Amino acid sequence: MDFFSKMKDAEYNQFIEDIISKKPLTDDMIREMLSVSDRAGLKRMFDAAVQVKEHYFGKSVYLYSFVYFSTYCKNQCAFCYYNAKNKIDRYRITPEELRVLCGELKDEGVHMIDLTMGEDPHFHNTPENLLEFVRIAKEVTGLPVMVSPGVVDNDFIKELRKEGADFFALYQETYQKELYAKLRAGQSFEGRIDARNNAKAAGICIEDGILTGFSKMKLSNGELIQPSVSDDIESAIVSIRGMQKADPDQVRVMTFEPQPGTPLAETAQASDLMELKVISVLRFVFPDRLIPASLDVAGIPGMTDRLNAGANAVTSIISAGSELEGVVNFDRDVSLNERERDAKSVIKKLKEMGLERGSQESFESYLNRNKS
């Protein structure tokens, strides 16, 4: 509970030094950190994470533009709004629409374009359709491109690499197999890990991620997903260890947000506190890696908390007025011209926080260093 508050100043400074020199944490240490609940202890934990981040990245923050280009999906993830069974309006943009959009994005100040989709058969069954999107995004913006296509086979991954895809995002959500089976019902646990490893082997940077905030969540059949907060902590430990195996270039955690129309719709929303603590622990376990603050979970106010807990990238940036969606859309009920999740608003806030937009050059050299 008092992992940080009980430390003398010298011990606290030594802890930070140890982390910077990549001394590993034990499971017990992580468990204690995730149990911290006193104000002073939390402040010390977040401050330590910021010091570690600044050692490796200074005040630089990287910005990713989010292009959710198809919301069609064949899967039925229990947590996701775009799950195939949900009766919602869906869209798939055309190559021409992507071209126009990328033309608008290229001078906004983002470092990378994240092309994300549901597992839409239009792209899954015809890889060329996705390759064309990567080609357009790279050609029009001249920026690195992340793809978030879901699970694709190794040949497809090699094609993505040839086309110049820089980053492959695929979140395991959890490394607890039983929990995975409830969340990503009917989807292979190993197959998801393999796809990520294949991307790494092909020389593409990879991102992994986990969800938190499932304690007391009920499935529609009444089954409890994780009965208590301590389950959430144990789950995070297993998942952090799972993510370490593939040496990811970027790691994330997001708070589960109940979505209308899904099996987990009727459950109470967890606070963001566990996510913030996991962000700090991720910074301690992956000191020199990119860790995003997603605007999708809690917008710009939430971004501030996440950067102050150790994150150093801002994701899910969407141009002002754009009709595209996020994956959770904390601002789903807000009119398009009122949602403040554009690059300009982000950069303004960074300045107020004493942070800055990192240079494109430093971002690309990080990517090149990490591509095998």
DSSP helix/strand/coil, 253:
strand
Residue 294 touching ligand MD0 (CB under 6 A): yes
Q: b/e string for 118-135 if b means 16 or more Cβ within 10 A?
A: bbbeebbeebebbbebbe
Q: Which is nearer to ligand MD0, 215 or 315 (CB)?
A: 315
> What residue ranges bind ligand SF4 (CB under 6 A)?
73, 75, 77, 80, 82-83, 118-119, 150
Judged by CB under 6 A, the stretch of 49-57, 260-268, 292-300, 352-360 that binds ligand MD0 is 292-300
Residue type, 4: F
Our CB check for ligand SF4 shows the closer of 149 and 302 to be: 149
Residue with Cβ nearer ligand SF4 (46 or 79): 79
Q: Which of ligand MD0, ligand SF4, ligand SAM, none is residue 259 near (CB under 5 to 8 Å by kind)?
A: ligand SAM
Following DSSP, what letter does each residue of 155-203 receive, concatenated? Answer: HHHHHHHHHT--EEE---B-S-HHHHHHHSTTS-HHHHHHHHHHHHHHT
Name the residue among 280, 359, 319, 324 with its Cα closest to residue 50.
280
Please list the residues that pair with 292 across neighbouring strands.
Answer: 313
Q: Which residues on adjacent β-strands are paired with residue 163?
A: none
Amino acid residing at 56: Y
Contacting residue, 65, 116, 259, 370, with ligand MD0 by CB under 6 A: 116
Among 83, 215, 315, 322, binds ligand MD0 (CB under 6 A): 315
Q: How far apart are CA 32 and CA 72, in angstroms?
A: 41
With b for 16 or more beta-carbon neighbours within 10 A and e for fewer, the 164-177 pattern comes to: ebbbbbbbbbbbbe
Q: Tokens 């959710």 label which residue?
A: 68
148 interacts with ligand MD0 by CB under 6 A: yes
Q: How far is the CB of 355 from ligand SF4 (least distance, A)?
A: 30
**How far, in Å, CA of 285 to CA of 26, rounded?**
10
**Binding partner at 256 among ligand SAM, ligand MD0, ligand SF4, none, C-beta below 5 to 8 Å by kind:** ligand SAM
327 binds ligand MD0 (CB under 6 A): yes
| Least gap, CB of 369 to ligand MD0 (angstroms) | 21
User: Closer to ligand SF4 at the Cβ: 80 or 314?
Assistant: 80
Instruction: Report the residue number, 71 or 215, with the smaller CB distance to ligand SF4.
Output: 71
Dihedral over Cα of 223, 227, 232, 238: its sign:
negative
Indicate the SS3 state at residue 294: strand
Q: Are 83 and 75 in contact (CB under 8 A)?
A: yes
Enumerate binding residues for ligand SAM (CB under 6 A).
79-80, 116, 118-119, 148, 150, 169-171, 173, 209, 211, 254, 256-257, 259, 327-328
CB 192 → ligand SF4: shortest distance, Å?
10
83 has which bridge partners? Answer: none
- Tell me how far, at minimum, the Cβ of 119 lies from ligand SF4, in Å: 5
* Residues at the interface with ligand MD0 (CB under 6 A): 66, 114, 116, 148, 169, 292, 294, 296, 315-316, 326-327
